[in-house]
Structure 1
Amino acid sequence: MISGMIRILVLGTFAAALLASPTFAAGGGGGGGGGGSGISTSDPYAGAYATPSTTTTQPTYPRRPGTKASKARKPNNQSSIDDPAFAAGYRVAYDTIYERNDYAVAIEQLKALGHDDHPNVANLIGYSYRKLGDYKQSQVWYERALKADPNHVLTWQYYGLWQLEQGNREQALYHLSRIAAICGTDCEEYKSLAAALEKPTGTALVY
């Protein structure tokens, strides 16, 4: 009888210890509760506290060639002339065009610079040919300027005027849209071509 009481006491002590076990209380073991994770499934953030075993690297994308930050772009996106000798010669030709209106001489001066593929140079050569009435050569040089710099807004303006003088109003409107995309509708190039488009067909253009 005494041994039976001792057996009951031992079993009771063992049962009390088992009930007090953290694993049992948390639902661990067997097929119940959280499957041994120790995280309550009622917690909406369950699993958020766990530290990932590996760090996920954010993908990187190659920068497209020729792209520039928008802040670095000039308002009219004209190409700069950094060489002092080149800049001085360009200025002489510029004055020959706009001060003296001597377009034939200006073409010689611009070609003598040795930078025919510079968009500023090619554009002014195209402009000079247009003023001399040589529309074929003018077009060649405008296209050359845009090939060197597709966003050369002054070429889009002057080439748009060329289109108007050739009766290509739809093309001139396209040029106007390109200017708007580059420098907006408040820049002088846009205003100049827009004003020319408002004039009757055949009207002599200033630029």
Structure 2
Amino acid sequence: MIKSSMKLAMLAAVLTAPIILSPHQAALAAGGGGGGGGGAGGGELYGSSYSTPAPAYPQQKDRKTTHRVKKPIKQSGFDDPAFRDSYRAAYATIYERNDYAAAIDQLHALGRDDHPNVANLIGYSYRKLGDYKQSQVWYERALKADPNHVLTWNYYGLWQIEQGNRDAAQYHLSRIAAICGTDCEEYRSLAAALEKPPGTSLVY
């Protein structure tokens, strides 16, 4: 009888004791975990995608507070068939028909000027039209949307070479190396452009 009472007392103590979780277990129990992928890099459709993880936003506990928790911005857009098809059409206008003015109109019509892929192609189109000032504005806009947008670093590096800013282009090359290494196409094409004599016309 005494043994049975002791067993019951021990069982009660175990069941009522607080469960101690490691910090990682506690984070998982609270719904935490690693952040998802950020914005698109070279593009889900074209090129490679290298992006920083989306930041973890704190959960809103008090519904009465006037401050709203900011949700991560979903940059992809390529899961929307209409966006994807229109983007492909603009892409073809640039790279197959070389009609850069028409492509700019098509890209603006997407209504996603702050998407890094869209801003980068607008910048590229302006550069091919010889409007370097507008081209720079759009390259900067693409990198603001995604600082690891490797194709923008590549195209903007070519912009720098054409402007005679070889030191700046070398910096862009180092940024590409940090994002995707020295074997990716974006690194190799910019490195090849830098090896050409100053003043050489670029076909990129």
Q: Do structure 1's residue 77 and structure 2's residue 74 form an aligned pair?
A: no
Residues 91-106 of structure 1: pairs in structure 2 closer than 5 A: 91-106=88-103
Report 1 or 2 for greater relative contact order, CA contacts < 8 Å, sequence distance ≥ 6: 2
CA shift at 1:202, angstroms? 0.6
Distance 2:196 2:33 in 1: 41
How does 1:48-197 map onto structure 2 within 5 Å?
58-59=22-23, 68=37, 76-77=48-49, 80=76, 81-197=78-194
What letter corresponds to residue 195 of structure 1 in structure 2? A
How many aligned positions are there? Answer: 151
- Residue 82 of structure 1 deviates from its aligned partner by 1.7
Contact 1:116 1:122 in 2 (8 A): yes
Structure 1 residue runs of 4 or more that deviate by more than 3 Å after TM superposition? 54-69
Aligned identity (percent) is 75
Q: Report the Cα distance in structure 1 between the residues aligned to 2:127 and 2:190, rounded to whole angstroms.
A: 16
Residue identity matched to 1:124: L
Q: Which residue pairs with 2:69 in the alignment?
A: none
Unaligned runs of 5+ in 2: 1-17, 39-43, 51-74
Whether the aligned pair in 2 keeps the contact of 1:157 and 1:193 (CA below 8 Å) is yes
Q: Does 1:205 align with 2:202?
A: yes
Q: Distance in 2 between matches of 1:169 and 1:199?
A: 11
Cα offsets for 1:50-95 (capped at 9, x unmatched):
xxxx9986556988996759xxxx8932574221100100011100
Q: Which residues in structure 2 correspond to 1:24-63 (within 5 Å)? A: 58-59=22-23
2: CA distance between counterparts of 1:64 and 1:142? Answer: 33
* Per-residue deviation, 1:206: 1.1
Report the RMSD for the aligned CA atoms in angstroms. 2.7
Structure of greater Rg = 1
Contact 1:76 1:152 in 2 (8 A): no
Letter of the structure 2 residue corresponding to residue 174 of structure 1? Y
Q: Deviations over 1:114-136 (max 9, x none)?
A: 00000000000000000000001
Shift of 1:186: 0.6
